[in-house]
Amino acid sequence: MTALSALILGAAAVVWGTGPPSTAAAAPVTVTHPYPGGGIVTFGDAQNFGAPTMSLTSPIIGMAPTPDGQGYWLVALDGGVFTYGDAGFYGSMGGTPLTQPIVGIAATPDGKGYWLVAADGGIFSFGDAGFYGSLGGVHLVSAVTGMAPSPDGKGYLLVAGDGGVFAFGDATFLGSNAGKPIPGAISGITVTSDAKGYWMVGDDGSVYTFGNARNLGGSSSTKPVAPVSAMAVTPDGKGYWLLEPDDWDYLFSGPSPTATSKSASVVAIASEQVGPDPDIPNGAYCNPYGPCEPWCSLFVTWVWRQAGVPVPSIPFTGNLYTWAARNTSVLPPTALPAPGDALLFGTGPRNTATSLHTGIVAQVWPDGAVVTIEGDAGPAPDGSLNTVLNGPFLLKDSASYNGFAVYAIARPVR
């Protein structure tokens, strides 16, 4: 498996592990996709009606089926909408400045309208879609990652990365995954035809059922690592689609290359580590990258060393900043990072209260969004944490999307 094929690019925020002391164009990149037919994976009686054939500049992160199941809408992180089968176009947020990126789409019962939802829970209505409330302006523990309408179109559910569910209008709350130790962040939700159940999908391809929803299989049952960002169910409830955004061609182009001499090897090594808590049987915070202590920085420096960077094992994220400032380079959060760089989250490197978390940049998208690979991250309780992929998100949105701002970018080489 290539490093890119292993990336989980659901627009889902994670709950950070507390380490000891969480609009530019990308560089030219050749992206290869190991799965034919684009990023639509079908289960049960769901059909594939097509996918984008042009090179895209923003990742596809949301999907909604038409009422008869003979088509669907796809939405990109920048709010662009794409129609397939008998889906009609009623507008989009493409080209409109957004406070937070779009993370999901849901269609009205007659197929003559749809909603778009942003990471902060803001709702945008098109066609005959009505507005029944939003989470815009509400402080969230985890960013919103998807939405699902009521069967009558008079309400909708929003789901967050930690599995929290929020009901609006006549939508019914039937349970959630909030507070549960799930292996991957929740990236989508969809409701049964009788509104007595719903499905959630994790960015690792795991499927969770509530009420009378039936589990028909998950992407993780067909591929070793599944990059899933959304889920849509057929009208009869006997099939569903999973959306894998890394399986399309993206137009990665820009002025000068940002990739460093270590970018490819760092990302390849880090992506191989994605998965559940690697050493939980031996006690809280035990890990294969260093002592039994919070290990986000231990993970970054371990990966860098495996890629040939002469960096010591560093447990405190603030010291990671100091090492890079003395030996390689540190960039401000307004700069364009390169794959293999480490994002430093918090307000500064001074102490454990200001330097909170770190993760490795895995991809930089044409719209400036990044995907990161992070150790000691959730969603899971402290001491039972995973190595996850997070994003895509824009660095300027990190405070609201992740709960922490990015204060610096540490580069493994000069």
Task: For residue range 365-388, list pLDDT tens digits in order.
Answer: 767 778 888 999 866 666 778 887
Instruction: Dump pLDDT digits (tens) for 61-114.
Output: 888 999 999 999 999 888 999 999 999 999 999 888 888 889 899 999 999 999
What's the pLDDT band for 12 if we cut at 50, 70, 90?
A: very low
Q: What's the pLDDT at 20? A: 30
Between 201 and 22, residue with greater pLDDT: 201
* CATH architecture of the domain with range 263-411: Alpha-Beta Complex (3.90)
Q: What sign for the dihedral angle of Cα 349, 390, 2, 334? A: negative
Domain residue ranges of the chain, discontinuous segments joined by +? 40-247, 263-411
Q: What percent of the chain has pLDDT over 90?
A: 45
pLDDT at 219 over 70: no
pLDDT at 222 over 70: no
Q: What's the pLDDT at 31? A: 31
Are 315 and 296 a contacting pair, CB within 8 Å? no
What's the pLDDT band for 6 if we cut at 50, 70, 90?
A: very low
pLDDT at 347 over 90: yes
Q: Which amino acid makes up residue 32?
A: T
Between 7 and 125, residue with greater pLDDT: 125
Are 123 and 115 a contacting pair, CB within 8 Å? yes
pLDDT at 259 over 70: yes
Q: What's the pLDDT at 274? A: 79
| Fold agreement (40-247, 263-411) | no
pLDDT at 40 over 80: no
Q: What's the pLDDT at 32? A: 31
Q: 125: left (phi > 0), else alpha (psi -120 to 50), else beta?
A: beta
Q: What's the pLDDT at 220? A: 46
Round the average pLDDT of the chain to a whole number and report it.
81
For 319-341, what is the mean pLDDT? 96
What's the pLDDT band for 19 if we cut at 50, 70, 90?
A: very low
Q: What's the pLDDT at 23? A: 27
Instruction: Dump pLDDT digits (tens) for 231-241.
Output: 787 888 788 78
Tokens linked to 248: 């399309």
Residue 140, helix vs strand vs coil: coil
Candidates 2.130.10.10, 2.60.40.10, 1.10.10.10, 3.40.50.720; CATH matching 40-247:
2.130.10.10
What's the pLDDT band for 412 if we cut at 50, 70, 90?
A: very high
Rounded to 5°, the CA angle 165-62-84 comes to 135
DSSP string, 317-356: HHHHHHHHHHHSEEE-TTSPP-TT-EEEEES-SSSTTTEE
Q: What's the pLDDT at 248? A: 57
| 254 closest CA partner among 339, 192, 372, 352 | 339
Q: What's the pLDDT at 320? A: 98
pLDDT at 134 over 70: yes
Backbone angles phi, psi at 171, to 5 degrees: -65, 145
Q: Which amino acid makes up residue 267?
A: V
Q: What's the pLDDT at 233? A: 78
Backbone angles phi, psi at 327, to 5 degrees: -115, -30
Rounded to 5°, the CA angle 218-46-79 comes to 85
Q: What's the pLDDT at 396? A: 86
Which stretch of 80-89, 191-200, 271-280 has the lowest confidence by average pLDDT? 271-280
**Which of 89-103, 129-143, 154-168 has the highest average model confidence (pLDDT)?**
154-168
